[in-house]
C-alpha cells in the first residue's frame, strides 16, 4: 500500500507499507540520496514475513517532493520526518533499521523519541562524533567520484555513473553484479520520473548532530552491523559506535561493504530478525 504523507510545508513523502500487516512494525530508513527502493527485494521479502514494513523516499529523492533549492532544510528535519510518518500511520512504537545517513537519523530518534522505538539496527553508519581518530579514511576512489555527483548527465550516463558508484561502495570482498544494480537504478529512475541528482542531502544543514555524549544513556536495544569491507565506515567505526551506545550489540557480516546486494539481503534479514524478534514491542 502506498501513501503520500505531508511532513512539512512544501514537502510530501512517498511511503510504502508491505509485509505482514499484523506483524510488529519495522521502519526502514535509507541513506543520503537513496530511494526506499534501494533496500534489496530479498531482504524485504524475508523481513516482511514477520513484520509490517514501512519504507519511504526522503525529501528530494524518488517520488517525494524535490524542493531543496527553494526550501532548504537540515538533516535533523529528516529525522523529524520519520516521526511524522509513524504518526500518520498510527504506529506508536516500531523497530527501526537505518542505513548510512539513515543510521545517523536513527541515532537522533534514539535520543529524542526513545518511547517510539522498540529496537534500532544501524548499518554502515557514522557515529555522531565522526568516528575514531585512528580509523582509515574514505576510499580515494569514492572521494573522486563524489566530486562529479551533481554534474549534468543524460539518463544512460547517469546509470553508468550510479553503477560505478555502487561498485566502489560494494568494497572488494563480496561479488558485484553490475546488471543487478543497473536494473535497480532503472527501476528507481522510473519510480522517480527523473534521473538527475541534486545532492540535496550533502548540502543539508548539519547543525544539531554533535550529540555523541548523549548516546551512553540510550537504553533501547541497538544492533550495530559491522560492514568490514565498507569504503566509508568499516569495522573501526562500527566498534566505536558500539562503545558510544548504552545498550548495543555488534554483529559482523563478513565481506559486507556499503552496497546492499540481493545476495546479501537474506543474511542481513536473518541478523536483523534475531534482534527484532527478541525485543518485540
* Positions marked catalytic: 100, 230, 258
Cβ neighbourhood burial of 152 (10 Å; 0-12, 13-18, 19+): exposed
Q: What distance in Å separates the CA atoms of residue 275 and residue 154, rounded to the nearest whole number?
A: 42
Is 80 in contact with 58 (CB distance < 8 Å)? no
- List the one residue out of 75, 121, 115, 78 whose CA is nearest residue 96: 121
Q: What residues contact residue 257 under an 8 Å CB cut-off, 6+ apart?
A: 169, 170, 171, 172, 173, 174, 227, 229, 230, 231
Could you identify the residue written with the cell 526506499? 36
> Which grid cell is 105?
537519523
Amino acid at each position: 500500500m502506498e501513501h503520500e504523507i505531508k511532513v512539512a510545508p512544501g514537502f510530501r513523502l512517498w511511503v510504502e507499507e508491505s509485509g505482514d500487516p499484523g506483524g510488529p512494525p519495522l521502519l526502514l530508513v535509507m541513506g543520503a540520496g537513496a530511494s526506499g527502493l534501494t533496500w534489496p527485494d530479498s531482504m524485504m521479502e524475508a523481513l516482511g514475513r514477520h513484520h509490517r514494513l514501512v519504507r519511504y523516499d526522503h525529501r528530494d529523492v524518488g517520488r517525494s517532493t524535490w524542493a531543496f533549492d527553494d526550501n532548504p532544510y537540515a538533516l535533523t528535519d529528516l529525522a523529524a520526518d520519520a516521526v511524522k510518518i509513524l504518526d500518520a500511520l498510527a504506529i506508536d512504537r516500531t523497530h527501526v533499521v537505518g542505513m548510512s545517513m539513515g543510521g545517523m537519523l536513527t541515532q537522533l530518534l534514539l535520543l529524542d523519541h526513545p518511547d517510539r522505538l522498540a529496537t534500532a539496527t544501524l548499518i554502515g553508519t557514522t557515529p555522531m562524533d565522526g568516528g575514531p581518530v585512528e580509523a582509515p579514511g574514505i576510499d580515494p576512489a569514492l572521494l573522486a567520484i563524489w566530486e562529479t555527483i551533481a554534474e549534468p548527465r543524460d539518463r544512460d550516463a547517469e546509470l553508468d555513473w550510479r553503477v560505478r558508484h555502487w561498485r566502489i561502495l560494494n568494497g572488494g570482498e563480496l561479488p558485484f553484479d553490475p546488471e543487478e544494480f543497473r536494473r535497480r537504478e532503472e527501476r528507481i529512475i522510473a519510480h522517480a520520473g527523473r534521473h538527475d541528482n541534486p545532492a540535496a542531502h550533502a548540502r543539508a544543514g548539519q547543525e544539531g548532530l554533535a550529540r555523541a555524549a548523549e548516546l551512553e544513556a540510550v537504553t533501547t536495544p541497538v544492533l550495530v552491523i559491522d560492514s568490514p569491507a565498507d569504503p566509508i565506515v568499516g569495522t573501526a567505526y562500527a566498534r566505536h559506535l558500539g562503545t558510544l551506545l548504552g545498550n548495543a550489540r555488534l554483529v559482523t557480516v563478513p565481506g559486507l561493504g556499503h552496497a546492499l546486494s540481493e545476495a546479501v539481503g537474506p543474511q542481513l534479514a536473518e541478523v536483523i530478525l534475531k534482534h527484532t524478534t527478541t525485543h518485540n514491542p
